[in-house]
Structure 1
Amino acid sequence: MLFSGRRLITALLGVASCLLISPATAFTNPIRRPGGSDPQMIYSDGYYYFLSTSWSNVQIARATTIDGLKTATRKTVYSSTEASRCCNVWAPETHYLDGAWYIYFTAGNSKNLDGQNLHVLKGGATPWDDFTYVGQLSNEWSIDGTIIQFDKWGTYLASSCFHEVQYQSLCMQKLGDDNVSLKGNNSVISQPLESWEQSRTPVNEGPYALYMEEIGKTYIVYSANDCWTPEYCLATLEWDGKTDPTSAAAWKKSSGCVFQGGVNGHYGTGHNSIVRSPDGSQIWNVYHATDNVNGSCNDSRYTMVQVVGKNPDGSPNFGTPVAFDYNSAEPS
C-alpha cells in the first residue's frame, strides 16, 4: 500500500516520531505550565487562540502554531474591581456568534465561592479585537459556561449548576437572541448519579460540544468527579438528534470515563475543549492535568493537547494521556 507523506508520518509517529518530525512542524506537551487550568483553544483565520483560568482576569493568547502558544504574548481583555465579579475568575471561552466574538466566563467575590456566576464579554470580528463587559448571564450559581448549537433547535448555554438538584450537575438553557441573555427554562440534563462520577464529591462540570459531522452526532464532553481527586476524568453525553436538547431524556451518558489519568504521570485529566485542525480532518482534545497523584484544583494544572482517534463506528476514541516527550505533528 502506498502512503502520502503526511499519512506515512501519521502511521509511524508512535514508533519513531522523534526522527520523522522536525521541531518546526511538531510540538511536545504541556502547552502551558503553570496556569493551564480549564483550557480552551480555537482556530480562526490562521491563528490558534488560547484561554485558561488566570483566577483574577481574562487573558487570551494567539500563535500560528500550537507550539507557538507556549511563548505567545498574553493579552488581558477583562479585569474588574467590582466586588461581585472581581475574583475567582475561571474557565473563559470565546465563541463566534452572529458576526462577533463573545467570551463567557465564571467570576465571583473574594470571600468565598458562593457567588460564582456566569458573565459575558462582547468583542469584534476577530478574537484579538477588544472586548467589552456586557453583563451577568445567569441568576443563580453557575460555572463553566459554554455554547452548544443544534440544527433546527438553535443556540444554547450549557453550564455546571445546582438548579433544583442535590449535586453539582449539567444544565442547558436557550441563549437569547442578543447572545448575552437567557430565555426559557433552565433544565438539568445530567446528574452525577453513577458510582464512577462520585469520587469524594459527586460532580458534573466543564461541558464542551463535540460535533461529529461525519456520523451526524453531537456530543457533550464533560468532567466527572471532584477535581481534588486523581479520578477527575472526561465522560460524554450523546444527543439523540431529535429530542429537545434541554430534556435529560435526549442524552445518553457514556458507561464510564472516556479519558482518564494514571498514565504517563498525569492525573485529574479533565475540563477540556475541542478544536478541529485547519483542514477539518482531525479533532484535538485540549485538557488540563496535574502531576499530583492526589489530584489538584490549583495552578499546578497544565494544558495538554492531543489528537482524538475514532472507533470503527466513527465515534470518538480519546485514547490515553500522552507522555511529555511525545512528539505530535502540528495539525494539518
Structure 2
Amino acid sequence: MELQTVLGHKPELPGKIEVGLNNGINVLADVIWEDPDEDSINHAGSFEIKGKIEFKEYPNPLIEQRADPYIVRHTDGYYYFTGSYPLYDRIVLRRAKTIEGLQTSEEVVVWEAHEKGVMSEHIWAPELHYINGKWYIHFAAGEKEDVWGIRPYVIETADNNPLEGTWIEKGQVNTNFQSFSLDATTFEHRGKRFLVWAQKVENDTISNLYIAEMENPWRIKGEQVLLSTPELEWEQIGFHVNEGAAMIKRNGKVFIAYSGSETNHHYAMGLLSADEDSDLLDPKSWTKTDEPVFSSSETTSEYGPGHNSFTVAEDGKTDLLVYHARPYKEITGNPLYDHNRHARVQQLLWKTDGTPYFGIPGQTFAERTIEVTARITVKKNS
C-alpha cells in the first residue's frame, strides 16, 4: 500500500482494507496501525508503518443447550445473554464484561411460567431490549390447555440490573391475529420503533414474517404488513417457515436475517434488505436472497444454524453473529425436544459491496492476525 503525506503531518491511513478469503470472497477488515515515528514525518523521503488485522474468535459453543440465543451489549459495559431454556418453563439471564465471560457467569431465573392458563407452556425465544430507560423481554408462550396456542408476550422492569429486577407482565402483544405466533424482535429506525414477528394465519401451516410500527414497547399501532413468506425451496423443507428475525443496520441498508425450514439440519438462514431511506412498511422496499446465507456445514460439524441475533465485540465496533446449531446431523423424534442446539458466536464479516458475509457455522481463520504494511512518502509543502 502506497500513501503520501506532507512534512509534519501524519498520513491518513485507511481504517479498513480489502482482504481476500480462501473461498474467493473479498471482505473489508479493520486495521490497527502503529503510530508513525515523529522523526519520519518531519523529513522528506519514505518510511513504513506496520499494521495488523485481527479476526475475532470465541469459545465454540459458547453456552450449551441454549437455543435462540440473544446477546446485547449495554451502556453499563456488560453483555447480557438470554435464550430458550431446555424445559421451556422459564426465562434466564446472564451478564458478563466479556463475551467469553458469559460462558461461566451465573445464570439467573428472572421469570417462570404460570401454572396454568396463558404463559404456562413453551416459553420460547426471549429477547432482552433496553428501551426508554427500562428493560423489556419479548418472548413466546403457549398454555397448558393448548400448548401450541403460542402467542407473543412482553415483561418489563425499571431496575438498572435486569438480573435483579422485579418483572411486570405487560401482556400479549396486540397483533391482528389469534393464531400461532412467535419470535418477535423489536428495533428502532429513524425515530420509529418496529416489531417483526413470525405468524401463522388462522389454520394455515405457513409461518410468515410480519412487520409493524409500535406505539410503545409492547403495543403495535397502525398497519401490520406481510414482510416475507416462505416461497423458496430452501425455506420449505419439512415445514414452510420464515421465523427468528434479527436486524442489523450498516452501509446505508437495513438487513433482517431470518431462519427457514424445519428445525433439524435443514434449518438455515436467509437475508432481507432495504435501503435505510425507504419505507420499511412497504413490502416493495425489501429484497430477499435466493439462497440461504448460512447453513449446515459437514466441514465443521455444525448443523441447523439459525435463530440468530447480532452484537458487537469488546472493541465496540466488530460485528458478531450469535446463533444456535447442533453438533450432529441425525435426530430421533421431534427436533424441538432435542435440546442440543448450543449458543455460538463468530465474527460477521462485510463484503466490499456492503452486504454481510456470514461464512459457515464454526468458521475459523487460518491466520487470526494478518500483518500489513503501508509505505509512506513524505513530501515538502508545495
TM-score category (smaller protein): 0.7 to 0.9
Q: What is the CA-CA distance between 1:277 and the residue it aligns to?
A: 2.5
Matching residue of 1:148: 187
Q: What TM-score, normalized to structure 1?
A: 0.85
Q: Distance in 2 between matches of 1:246 and 1:226?
A: 27
Contact 1:37 1:53 in 2 (8 A): yes
Q: Output the amino acid matched with 1:235.
A: G
Matching residue of 1:210: 248
Corresponding residue SS for 2:234: helix
**Equivalent position to 1:290, from 326, 334, 340:** 326
Q: Distance in 2 between matches of 1:161 and 1:60?
A: 26
Q: Distance in 1 between matches of 2:125 and 2:258?
A: 13
Matching residue of 1:307: 347
Deviations 1:274-309 (A, max 9, x none): 002244321100000012314643311101100011
Q: Distance in 2 between matches of 1:82 and 1:4?
A: 59
Query: Which gives a bigger RCO, structure 1 or 2 (Cα 8 Å, sep 6+)?
Result: 2
Matching residue of 2:200: 162
* 1:8 lines up with 2:46 in the alignment: no
Corresponding residue SS for 1:68: helix
Contact 1:58 1:92 in 2 (8 A): yes
Gaps of 5+ in 1: 14-25
Matching residue of 1:116: 150
Q: Output the amino acid matched with 2:321.
A: N
Contact 2:123 2:141 in 1 (8 A): yes
CA radius of gyration, larger in: 2
Q: Which structure carries more helix by proportion?
A: 1
Q: What is the CA-CA distance between 1:241 and the residue it aligns to?
A: 3.1
Q: What is the CA-CA distance between 1:201 and the residue it aligns to?
A: 1.2
Q: What is the CA-CA distance between 1:43 and the residue it aligns to?
A: 0.8
Structure 1 residues 116 and 138 mapped into 2: Cα distance closer, same or farther (>3 Å)?
A: farther
Deviations 1:183-205 (A, max 9, x none): 22322110000112111111000
Structure 1 residues 317 and 71 mapped into 2: Cα distance closer, same or farther (>3 Å)?
A: same
Aligned pairs for 1:77-96 (under 5 A) are: 77-79=110-112, 80-96=114-130
Matching residue of 1:22: none
Q: Output the amino acid matched with 1:162.
A: K
**Equivalent position to 1:233, from 252, 268, 279:** 268
Contact 2:121 2:147 in 1 (8 A): no
Q: Distance in 1 between matches of 2:109 and 2:254?
A: 32
Structure 1 residues 155 and 327 mapped into 2: Cα distance closer, same or farther (>3 Å)?
A: farther
Q: What TM-score, normalized to structure 2?
A: 0.75
Matching residue of 2:70: 40
**Equivalent position to 2:212, from 150, 169, 173:** 173
Contact 1:40 1:272 in 2 (8 A): yes
Structure 1 residues 327 and 133 mapped into 2: Cα distance closer, same or farther (>3 Å)?
A: farther
Q: How many residues align?
A: 310
RMSD (Å) for aligned C-alpha atoms:
2.6
Contact 1:30 1:324 in 2 (8 A): no
Contact 2:58 2:345 in 1 (8 A): no
Structure 1 residues 293 and 327 mapped into 2: Cα distance closer, same or farther (>3 Å)?
A: farther
Q: Distance in 1 between matches of 2:307 and 2:296?
A: 13
* 1:269 lines up with 2:305 in the alignment: yes
Structure 1 runs of 4+ with >4 Å offset: 1-7, 323-329
Gaps of 5+ in 2: 2-30, 35-49, 370-382
Matching residue of 1:60: 93
* 1:316 lines up with 2:356 in the alignment: yes
Q: Distance in 2 between matches of 1:4 and 1:184?
A: 49
Corresponding residue SS for 2:245: strand
Deviations 1:202-226 (A, max 9, x none): 10000011111xx111111100111
Q: Which structure carries more strand by proportion?
A: 2
Q: Distance in 2 between matches of 1:32 and 1:324?
A: 18
